[in-house]
Chains A and B, each alone.
Chain A
Amino acid sequence: MKFSLSWLKTHLDTDAPISVIAETLSSIGLEVEAIEDRAAGLAPFKIVRVIEAVQHPNADRLRVCRVQTDQGEVGVVCGAPNARTGMMAVFAPPGSVVPGSGMVLKIGEIRGVASAGMLVSERELGLGEDHDGIIDLPADAPLGMSYAHWAGLDDPIIEIGVTPNRGDGFSVRGVARDLAAAGLGTLRPWSPAPVLGVGESLVAWRNEFPDACPLVVGRTVRGVKNGESPDWLKRRLTAIGLRPISALVDITNFFTIDLGRPLHVFDAGKVTGGVLTLRRSAGERFAGLNGKDVFAGADDCVIADAQGAQSLAGIVGGEATSCDAATTDVFIECALFDRVRIALTGQRSGIHSDARQRFERGIDPSILPQALDAATAMIMALCGGQPSEMVAAGAEPTWQRDATLRFDRLGSFGGHPVSTDRAVSILQDLGFVVRAQDADQVTVGVPPWRNDVAVTRSNYTYDPAIYAVNGPVSLLDPAPELAAERAQRAAAGAAAVAAEVDLLEEVLRIDGLDRVVPVSLPAMSAVPQPTLTARQTRTMRARRVLAARGLDECVTFSFVAQATAAQFGAVPERLRLANPIAADLDQMRPTPLATLALAAQTNAARGMTDVALFEVGPGFVDATPSGQNLIAAGLRLGATPLSWLDGDRALDVWDAKGDLFAVLAELGVPLDSLSVTAEAPRHYHPGQSGTVRQGPRVVLGYFGTLHPSIATAFDLPMRSIGFELMLDAIADPKRRRKAAPDLSPLQPVRRDFAFVVDAVVPAETVIRAVRGAERTLITEVRLFDRYEGEHVPSGKVSLAVAVTLQPREKSLTDAEIETVAGKITAAVAKTTGGVLRGER
């Protein structure tokens, strides 16, 4: 909402400087978004008279002017074709900055003639595009006056953001009232003189849809002349960005801004049948004043004549019955529309208008006849004409209601014990009327324009159907699963305190929240409770492990193009966005790997081919809370870092497995309990990928080389590796004390074995067999060599393991070691058919 300072001052008597006004507005909830002071850069430019303009002796296109300024006479060389003797113009003195060009003027010489300043055009002042010549002012323009002041440009424009609760904030008068309450001046009275209408209106109202519009009034003014508005009105509208159209239309715009009271004018001569009917739309389409086709459905209220819908009520008028230069009889509409229906119709139509903005926030329901009179008076003043009697349909709804404030709540809720007198006077300044007051509390009547205070049925919506949905006494939407008793008690509590909190807010808002003295939260316990759950802690640790291993954490979007998502998992329709912001962001991703691949692609395209990225974020299976998995996913491209010591090496599946197991180990997952199988989702290389499980069912993660088709699709190196860790699948650790560690004083014994097994036998099977051969002595089995080739039969592979034996009570004898070795060999033979290398 924009208004000029001078407009504000038509409602508010104040001497407050603009800076104080702005600060106060922001403080009391009418946040200043911008202050445009068009005069700011124009101070040096004053009105002058050109005493004489003669041809430049050395240049055809230049004139030499003697200029009379308030500081004396100066000589100026001017190139403008319209520079002439006797004209009133605008002078830029040396040292001033020309806003249009940023140039600093200097005293100079142009083709041998001294020039001490410049006569300027509108464009040079940054005020327009007109550069045909210098500014040519009327003869009576006062010499020496600031041009900005003369042109009315020294009137700052204030733009405020009005919050959705404050319908009254969308009027200059409402803003003025708040400022007066905040101590910045006095609100001027507003009481338009009653208009004595004569004769019947050419147009009458019929209201067939009172739920949408409880009251509408109007009247005809006959014999008007709809020309241009006078300068003051045009200037007022132009200043806030509204284009003057014609006097009649400008007047409706004026009241929309001035009082927050949207009006509409019909050309009575274009209304067919003499009656305008408020009714449900029959699915009509008409040309709107917004230059577009407007469609209205059965739930939308329209204003129709015998030809059909002429206006989408409260939102936009129709072209067919609009006023133009030929209009002689105008019919003024002044209606009270239901805010909820306007909001819903507005959403459906997608039309944003000043009228909708005000109606859907709620307007003052009590001033329809007065506003009509005020508008009539202005029409008569600007366009002439004879007013008819007022016509109306419906009745003013009951808006009167009271609210009570217990003074002690200012401290016990607001934390700011404002004095009783101060609290009551703030409420009164805001238009609340004291009905009763004692030492403990005050009961006030709520002013009609405050639709946000003590909200009840009678002022929230006039539509019983909409109301029924929202419940009988409040606007609650309680959780369906609440027990009835709990819900009712809570609802009664809300009903008991809501209006009082509204009043508290008013008092605190105007007194200033900055005056509330901060109090630190009291400690709930000397040492705070744990902030993170075990699961949240795991997430943080996973992040740290991966970063410590050289991967950079990314945060990528949870949605991605459906085609991209489909390369990494299922893309159910339920996880598609109905209104994506872009076609490539329309599907919830199945795994962060999908968006990491895009990130890797971007990096690779920038020449960074050896990136290592990870993300800890959601992947989606369905739209329920349990269908969202927290996944730590990583992607490495290219090779290990090049070094003079070891060169570099291409990444392989073991890097992926290493990352995954590093996190699992850090998260306390017992690695012995895990199994790895040679299977993985389709985005991995089928022969170089695996699934990590805990027990038979719980999948903890996947790892592998990326599938070549994925690498190709994302322009990634072929040897790119990835992994996904399902953080939600990791169980909380059992809360039990650890057993005492085995700290044997005896030296462990290492024995190496090489087994020749079928190449298809998983190494893990061999390792498990060895480990299981003698559980009390074998503490570690480490596979340190895998060999196939010469000396190993074709189709076989040699796997060498180092086995650590830890004696417990006494050192092992050779015979005991041989016994364990025999058990190991036997166990491997039994489970895999493998034999010791060198044996047959």
Chain B
Amino acid sequence: MQDNSNTILSEALEAISAADDLRTLDATRVAYLGKSGLVTGLLKALGAMAPDERREAGATINIVKNRIAEAIEAKRAILEGAALSTRLAAERVDVTLPARPLQRGTIHPISRTMEELTALFGAMGFVVKDGPDIEDDWYNFGALNIPAHHPARAMMDTFYLHAAGRNRPMVLRTQTSPLQVRTMLAEPPPIRMISPGRTYRSDHDATHSPMFHQCEGLVIDRGITLAHLKGCLMDFLRAFFEMPDLRARFRSSYFPFTEPSMEIDIAWDRKTGAIGGGDDWLEILGAGMVHANVLANCGIDPRDYQGFAFGMGVERITMLKHGIADLRNFYESDGRWLSHYGASPFAPVMLHEERGL
């Protein structure tokens, strides 16, 4: 009995060792451990034995059975691993082949800048106002202390429409200041607003476009002074250009709707175009304390409230920030230019994120 078991065991282990695929291995399993297998046959024979003999033989057979089963499982793991390796080798692809094409579009740099303006001024408590591109000339001029004969009208080459409203000519707004007027008429102070948007002037050359974008701002409250104007704009410029120590100079100037009026230059290098460096100055903003007549035209008593307004060209600050050379490209919709200068739709403009295109 003992010999028989050992014979079966050694034969089985040999067969298992010889099995070179799962099917052979399974056949081996059936041959020894299956219903009619040799080991099963030994177990069946136990019934005919005397109890003492059965116990001894049973223990032996079980050892044999377990060793065969273990050997089969071990072999199975080896064979399966080999089979998997073979399959994986067969399934190999050239991963340097390109993926399915991704069509990624871009946000226009003008929109991107306007979103950045929104984030920066939003952090200072400003809200964004928008409104019509077509205004009657009261909103664009009259309310802003620019009467019809005023030489300042010649400063802005205005587009007129054939339409007329309220007995006044309709114009394409030359600035987004009409939105300041609309806001002052509609809402009581305190006011903090910016109005990025399209503006129009009949000027067309390398550095002027008949349509362009401005962002104007207005702060009206009690106790707002020219020092706040400077603080607010310095805070903005340094954040926008991401230069905490950007130098700027404030020069007296004139706008009909502000007094005192000023233009603001930032330091730059004329030769390299680099912002912040160099000894040259580059005009970037117009600003001033809101003229008493403008406040009064909008029903605000300048004895109660005062404040400041400012305006800047969106294209201009975009060109400076990103080193874009030619204004005309902004409107030409050349796919190559858009891909080059456009911003990712996924790039956040939040202040706590690293900004940039």
For chain A, the bracket of interface size reads: 35 or more
The answer to whether A497 and B105 have CB atoms under 8 Å apart is: no
Cβ of A360: which chain B residues have Cβ within 8 Å of it?
149, 151
Cβ of A523: which chain B residues have Cβ within 8 Å of it?
124-125
Q: Contacts A532-B118, A577-B159 hold; do A502 and B259 have CB atoms under 8 A apart? A: yes
Q: Contacts A163-B254, A494-B296, A575-B161 hold; do A544 and B107 have CB atoms under 8 A apart? A: yes
Q: Contacts A413-B225, A531-B127, A628-B134 hold; do A644 and B97 have CB atoms under 8 A apart? A: yes
The answer to whether A412 and B225 have CB atoms under 8 Å apart is: yes
Q: Does B250 count as interface, using CB distance less than 8 angstroms?
A: yes
Q: Does A87 count as interface, using CB distance less than 8 angstroms?
A: no
In the complex, how many angstroms separate the beta carbon of B315 from the nearest chain A beta carbon? 9
The answer to whether B143 and A644 have CB atoms under 8 Å apart is: no
Stretch at the interface among B21-29, B30-38, B108-116: B108-116
Q: Does B345 count as interface, using CB distance less than 8 angstroms?
A: yes
Q: Does B241 count as interface, using CB distance less than 8 angstroms?
A: no
How many angstroms between the C-alpha atoms of A414 and B165 in the bound complex? 38
Stretch at the interface among A230-238, A555-563, A795-803: A555-563
How many angstroms between the C-alpha atoms of A476 and B297 in the bound complex? 6
Q: Does B332 count as interface, using CB distance less than 8 angstroms?
A: yes
Stretch at the interface among B9-17, B69-77, B227-235: B227-235
Q: How many residues of B contact A (CB 8 A)?
A: 114
Q: Does B122 count as interface, using CB distance less than 8 angstroms?
A: yes
The answer to whether A505 and B260 have CB atoms under 8 Å apart is: yes
Report which of A521, A558, A602, A646 forms a contact with B211, defined as CB distance below 8 A. A558
Question: Can you list, as one digit per residue, whether each of B117-155 has a CB less than 8 Å from chain A (1) or not (0)?
Answer: 011011111111011111000100011010111111011
How many angstroms between the C-alpha atoms of A556 and B335 in the bound complex? 13
Q: Contacts A476-B297, A578-B161 hold; do A497 and B303 have CB atoms under 8 A apart? A: yes
The answer to whether B108 and A618 have CB atoms under 8 Å apart is: no
Q: Contacts A528-B122, A555-B330, A556-B333 hold; do A519 and B185 have CB atoms under 8 A apart? A: no
Q: Does A536 count as interface, using CB distance less than 8 angstroms?
A: yes
Instruction: Give the residues from 614 to 667 in chain A that come closer than 8 angstroms, CB to CB, to chain B.
Output: 614, 616-618, 620, 622-625, 627-628, 640-646
Cβ of B181: which chain A residues have Cβ within 8 Å of it?
479
Q: Does B42 count as interface, using CB distance less than 8 angstroms?
A: no
**Looking at A576, A588, A646, which has the most chain B CB atoms within 10 Å of its CB?**
A588
The answer to whether A623 and B292 have CB atoms under 8 Å apart is: no
Cβ of B302: which chain A residues have Cβ within 8 Å of it?
490, 493-494, 496-497
Stretch at the interface among B43-51, B55-63, B266-274, B336-344: B336-344
How many angstroms between the C-alpha atoms of A787 and B331 in the bound complex? 45
Q: Does A608 count as interface, using CB distance less than 8 angstroms?
A: yes
Cβ of A494: which chain B residues have Cβ within 8 Å of it?
292-293, 295-296, 302
How many angstroms between the C-alpha atoms of A125 and B98 in the bound complex? 63
Report which of B105, B165, B198, B223 forms a contact with A548, defined as CB distance below 8 A. B105
In the complex, how many angstroms separate the beta carbon of B262 from the nearest chain A beta carbon? 5
How many angstroms between the C-alpha atoms of A554 and B147 in the bound complex? 36
Q: Does A612 count as interface, using CB distance less than 8 angstroms?
A: yes
The answer to whether B107 and A547 have CB atoms under 8 Å apart is: yes
Instruction: Considering the complex, give the chain B residue whose CB is closest to the CB of A551.
Output: B105
In the complex, how many angstroms separate the beta carbon of B137 from the nearest chain A beta carbon? 10
Report which of B198, B250, B251, B260 forms a contact with A558, defined as CB distance below 8 A. B198
Q: Contacts A519-B230, A528-B125 hold; do A540 and B301 have CB atoms under 8 A apart? A: no
The answer to whether B297 and A620 have CB atoms under 8 Å apart is: no
Q: Does A343 count as interface, using CB distance less than 8 angstroms?
A: yes
Q: Does A552 count as interface, using CB distance less than 8 angstroms?
A: yes
Instruction: Considering the complex, give the chain A residue whose CB is closest to the CB of B208.
Output: A581
Cβ of B160: which chain A residues have Cβ within 8 Å of it?
577-579
Q: Contacts A552-B339, A628-B133 hold; do A574 and B161 have CB atoms under 8 A apart? A: yes
Cβ of A344: which chain B residues have Cβ within 8 Å of it?
148-149
The answer to whether B162 and A576 have CB atoms under 8 Å apart is: yes
Q: Does B52 count as interface, using CB distance less than 8 angstroms?
A: no
The answer to whether A524 and B231 have CB atoms under 8 Å apart is: no
Cβ of B133: which chain A residues have Cβ within 8 Å of it?
558, 618, 628
Question: Can you list, as one digit per residue, whether each of A522-537 has a CB less than 8 Å from chain B (1) or not (0)?
Answer: 0111001111110010
How many angstroms between the C-alpha atoms of A622 and B160 in the bound complex? 14
Q: Contacts A553-B111, A643-B100 hold; do A475 and B293 have CB atoms under 8 A apart? A: yes
Question: Can you list, as one digit per residue, whether each of A493-529 has a CB less than 8 Å from chain B (1) or not (0)?
Answer: 1101110011011001100011011111101110011
Q: Contacts A494-B295, A501-B289, A611-B335 hold; do A521 and B301 have CB atoms under 8 A apart? A: no
Cβ of A502: which chain B residues have Cβ within 8 Å of it?
259
How many angstroms between the C-alpha atoms of A334 and B145 in the bound complex? 31
Cβ of B127: which chain A residues have Cβ within 8 Å of it?
529-532
Stretch at the interface among A26-34, A74-82, A102-110: A26-34
The answer to whether B259 and A521 have CB atoms under 8 Å apart is: no
Cβ of B346: which chain A residues have Cβ within 8 Å of it?
544, 548
Q: Contacts A344-B149, A470-B147, A543-B111 hold; do A529 and B125 have CB atoms under 8 A apart? A: yes
In the complex, how many angstroms separate the beta carbon of B100 from the nearest chain A beta carbon? 6
How many angstroms between the C-alpha atoms of A543 and B115 in the bound complex? 11
Cβ of B4: which chain A residues have Cβ within 8 Å of it?
none
Instruction: Considering the complex, give the chain B residue whose CB is closest to the CB of A618.
Output: B133
Q: Contacts A513-B260, A519-B227, A602-B334 hold; do A501 and B292 have CB atoms under 8 A apart? A: yes
Report which of B110, B198, B292, B335 forms a contact with A493, defined as CB distance below 8 A. B292
Report which of A493, A577, A588 forms a contact with B304, defined as CB distance below 8 A. A493
How many angstroms between the C-alpha atoms of A416 and B346 in the bound complex? 44
Q: Does A85 count as interface, using CB distance less than 8 angstroms?
A: no
How many angstroms between the C-alpha atoms of A614 and B259 in the bound complex? 41
Q: Does B204 count as interface, using CB distance less than 8 angstroms?
A: yes
Report which of B107, B213, B295, B297 forms a contact with A477, defined as CB distance below 8 A. B297
Question: Can you list, as one digit per residue, whether each of B251-265 has a CB less than 8 Å from chain A (1) or not (0)?
Answer: 111101001111100
The answer to whether B130 and A479 have CB atoms under 8 Å apart is: no
Q: Does A301 count as interface, using CB distance less than 8 angstroms?
A: no
The answer to whether B234 and A165 have CB atoms under 8 Å apart is: no
Question: Can you list, as one digit per residue, whether each of B71-98 has a CB less than 8 Å from chain A (1) or not (0)?
Answer: 0000000000000000000000000011
How many angstroms between the C-alpha atoms of A509 and B250 in the bound complex? 10
Instruction: Give the residues from 324 to 347 in chain A that come closer than 8 angstroms, CB to CB, to chain B.
Output: 340, 343-344, 347
The answer to whether A540 and B115 have CB atoms under 8 Å apart is: yes
**Looking at B152, B211, B223, which has the most chain A CB atoms within 10 Å of its CB?**
B211
Q: Contacts A29-B254, A518-B230 hold; do A623 and B163 have CB atoms under 8 A apart? A: yes
Q: Does A166 count as interface, using CB distance less than 8 angstroms?
A: yes
Instruction: Give the residues from 404 to 419 in chain A that come closer than 8 angstroms, CB to CB, to chain B.
Output: 411-416
Instruction: Considering the complex, give the chain A residue whose CB is closest to the CB of B339.
Output: A552
Q: Does B249 count as interface, using CB distance less than 8 angstroms?
A: yes
Cβ of A72: which chain B residues have Cβ within 8 Å of it?
none
Q: Does B166 count as interface, using CB distance less than 8 angstroms?
A: yes
Q: Does A273 count as interface, using CB distance less than 8 angstroms?
A: no
Q: Does A822 count as interface, using CB distance less than 8 angstroms?
A: no
Q: Contacts A415-B227, A531-B127 hold; do A553 and B297 have CB atoms under 8 A apart? A: no
In the complex, how many angstroms separate the beta carbon of A680 from the nearest chain B beta carbon? 24
In the complex, how many angstroms separate the beta carbon of B332 from the nearest chain A beta carbon? 7
Cβ of A608: which chain B residues have Cβ within 8 Å of it?
335-336
Q: Contacts A490-B296, A501-B292, A581-B210 hold; do A516 and B252 have CB atoms under 8 A apart? A: no
Q: Does A603 count as interface, using CB distance less than 8 angstroms?
A: yes
13 CB-based A-B contacts, threshold 8 Å: A412-B223, A413-B225, A415-B225, A475-B145, A476-B296, A477-B147, A497-B302, A516-B227, A518-B227, A519-B231, A599-B332, A623-B170, A640-B103
Q: 5 tightest A-B contacts by CB? A: A550-B103, A415-B227, A531-B122, A163-B254, A29-B252
Q: A413-B226, A490-B297, A581-B203 are in contact. List 17 more A-B contacts (CB 8 A).
A: A164-B254, A164-B256, A413-B306, A414-B260, A466-B149, A479-B138, A479-B143, A490-B301, A520-B228, A521-B125, A553-B106, A554-B338, A576-B161, A576-B162, A577-B160, A602-B332, A618-B198
Where the two chains meet, the residues of A that have a C-beta atom closer than 8 Å to any C-beta of B are: 26-29, 31, 163-166, 340, 343-344, 347, 360-361, 411-416, 466, 470, 474-483, 486-487, 489-494, 496-498, 501-502, 504-505, 508-509, 513-514, 516-521, 523-525, 528-533, 536, 540, 543-559, 573-582, 585, 588, 596, 599, 602-603, 606, 608, 611-614, 616-618, 620, 622-625, 627-628, 640-646
